[in-house]
Amino acid sequence: MRAVVQRVTRADVTVDGTVVGAIDGPGLLVLVGVTHDDAPEQARKLAAKLWGLRVLDGEKSCSDVGAPLLVVSQFTLYGDARKGRRPSWTAAAPGPVAEPLVDAVVAELRALGATVATGRFGADMKVALVNDGPVTLVLDV
């Protein structure tokens, strides 16, 4: 499981012109990608890592200050563009595998006490954000 984490002051995701998820920061925008051999254990580890990641001002975590997270599924995190000019998506898990694991990350975060907004799995989403820093990290669990 892979995530790109951006520290934001606000972020939202729209589908067909309607906002389906939004946070006002400070907080984290988290793009989550799933590969074929990921399992619920990776979802649990990623959620714990995100909740405790000390990247907010003053080296604080979302758990320290109650900061919200916006979690958006992103299969393209497993795109491979090493050959040619057209990326391959074969390393990305198919929707029936990936969707429950992205949902598990969200459920685990909420169980830890996080306020979590989400995108809509499989939809053509428009993500808008205001970076804080900017701070962008790639996490593999």
Within-domain flag for 119: yes
Rounded-to-integer distance, Cα 4 and Cα 27, Å: 14
> Is residue 109 within 8 Å of 50, Cβ to Cβ?
yes
Q: Is 76 considered catalytic here?
A: yes
Within-domain flag for 39: yes
Within-domain flag for 141: no
Following DSSP, what letter does each residue of 104-130 receive, concatenated?
Answer: HHHHHHHHTT--EEE--TTS-EEEEEE
> Is residue 87 within 8 Å of 76, Cβ to Cβ?
yes
- Answer whether the bond into residue 96 is a cis peptide, omega within 30°: no
Per residue in 19-67, pLDDT tens?
999 999 799 999 999 999 999 999 999 999 999 999 999 999 999 999 9
User: What is the CATH classification number for the domain harbouring 98?
Assistant: 3.50.80.10
Rounded-to-integer distance, Cα 43 and Cα 126, Å: 24
Within-domain flag for 140: no
Q: Is 75 considered catalytic here?
A: yes
Host domain of residue 108: 2-80+87-135
Rounded-to-integer distance, Cα 63 and Cα 40, Å: 21
Within-domain flag for 113: yes
Q: Per the residue annotation, which of 6, 35, 74, 118 is the catalytic one? A: 74
Neighbouring residues of 76: CB distance < 8 A, sequence distance ≥ 6: 33, 87, 89, 92
Q: Per the residue annotation, which of 14, 35, 42, 75 is the catalytic one? A: 75
Q: Is 74 considered catalytic here?
A: yes
Model pLDDT, residue 25: 79
Of 43, 95, 46, 88, nearest to 74 by C-alpha is 95
Domain count of the chain? 1
Per residue in 57-109, pLDDT tens?
999 999 999 999 999 999 999 999 999 999 999 999 999 999 999 999 999 99
